[in-house]
A = this chain, B = another copy of it.
Amino acid sequence: MKDFTLKSIALQDVRVIRDPIHNYITIDNQVILDLIDTPQFQRLRRIKQLGGTSQAYPGGEHTRFSHSLGVYWIVVEMVSKSVIRNCISDYEFLCAMVAGLLHDLGHGPFSHSFEDIFGDNHELYTVRIIKECPQISRILDRISADMVEDVCRIIEKSHPNSILVSLVSSQLDADRMDYLLRDSYFTGVSYGQFDLARIIRCIRVKDNKLVYKHSGVQAIEDYILARYHMYWQVYFHPVGRSYEIILKSIFKRIKDLYSRNFDFGDIEYLLPFLNGTVTACDYTNLDEAVVLYYFHKFTTCDDAILSDLARRFLDRDLLGYIDIDSEDNAIVDNIKARQKIRGFDVDYYVGIDTQQAVLYHYYGDSHQIGEIEIVKNDRLVSFLEMSEIVGAIVNSKKNKEAHKIYFPK
């Protein structure tokens, strides 16, 4: 693909999308425009970015659609405003944009709870959708027969060019940077703000890796702490977690009832997930509207547990909670016993939730490219060594943890 040029797919009339985070997101090539217009991508308008969090922060109703556009745009900015532009080919640039745009295609409705119960993995499904849904793959095939594969390898972090992977999926990638700014803006908290423009300005390429200039350490530190505080202030908010616990109980109850041949009525769009025959294209039919509809129906179904949980979910009649120590089995047993006496099935009505956010390396343990590296005097140094703050916290080996038990008020 050495011959490919972005110019060859340039739009005559550049499109812009107004976005509160990035002001204008510009679409200047046909491939990105066509991908946005696929049903698979449009479906992301019906998958919210934050599941239960919007129960605690009512402004947080934004979708994976606008987030995905944002990730695409940060990839464009990271490349075109840095030295990366000179280090990758036009084709590689396009692959990175596409990977950024599509990286969330595989998210199910209320994604994390859904994944927990139905055992799917959104990254896996993203790759399957790109490969199996012809509306997507034929757009990429037009550029090159390898493009589907190349895009998927970026998403799977197996692409040989680590710069492309770093842009889309690392500890300091376009995905995380967009969601922190976006979640912060829509929920109305200041915690997730950091200095994106400066981080982009500090990008360097060394030994074929995306690394950062020494003077960017503070901005990266600020970003890492922003993420940490967003976890504790926003993503771990007990109202949101309580909502997720009910959600998981509903999915669990559905699964359990299905195994007992319960008559749900028409649940066509859920069936493939229950009987394990799900295809990539089944995803296009399953969105949060569909799931919410089923919950409406379940409120009047014959199973008392399912109908009660569905009603609680829709009416936001959530579970209460108390803080516990992790080892504290006595309290847990006691609460379970009391709920049983009150008539609640503890498998569905009592949930224990452990909150823990590793400040650094949160998602990065499993792959070597997660590490942020800094150029100092022309040598690469680990970010941990350069940052007194993050270094001290990581070395302290104290990970903030909290445990809560949820049960009916």
Contact = CB atoms under 8 A, between A and B. Distances in A.
A229 B222 contact: yes
Interface stretch (A4-12, A17-25, A147-155, A340-348): A17-25
A42 B314 contact: yes
A276 interface: no
A389 B285 contact: no
A33 to B, nearest CB: 13
A6 B189 CA distance: 30
Contact of A189 (B58, B195, B359, B392): B195
A388 B392 contact: no
Nearest to A225: B225
Q: How many copies of this chain sit in the oligomeric assembly?
A: 4
Contact of A289 (B54, B191, B229, B293): B293
Contacts of A255: none
A37 to B, nearest CB: 7
A61 B63 contact: yes
A219 B18 CA distance: 14
Interface in A49-76: 54, 57-59, 61-63, 65-66, 69
Nearest to A290: B293
Interface in A385-409: 388-389, 391-393, 395-396, 398-400
Contacts of A395: 392, 396
Contact of A290 (B24, B296, B392): B296
Looking at A21, A37, A296, the one whose CB has the most chain B CB atoms below 10 A away is A296
Interface residues of A, number: 73
A61 B69 CA distance: 15
A203 to B, nearest CB: 13
A233 to B, nearest CB: 5
Contacts of A316: 37, 42, 45
B63 A19 contact: no
B19 A188 contact: yes
A287 to B, nearest CB: 8
A193 B66 CA distance: 22
A398 B388 contact: yes
A65 B316 CA distance: 13
A190 B186 contact: no
Interface in A167-198: 185-191, 193-195, 197
Contacts of A45: 54, 58, 316
Contacts of A265: 266
Nearest to A399: B388
A221 interface: yes
A46 interface: yes
Contacts of A321: none
B20 A187 contact: yes
B218 A229 contact: yes
A59 B66 CA distance: 7
Given A285-B296, A290-B293, 12 more contacts: A18-B188, A45-B54, A45-B58, A61-B66, A190-B193, A190-B195, A218-B233, A222-B225, A388-B398, A388-B399, A391-B398, A392-B398
19 contacts: A16-B201, A18-B59, A19-B59, A21-B59, A23-B188, A23-B197, A37-B315, A38-B315, A42-B315, A59-B66, A225-B225, A228-B389, A266-B266, A290-B292, A290-B296, A292-B293, A293-B293, A388-B396, A393-B393
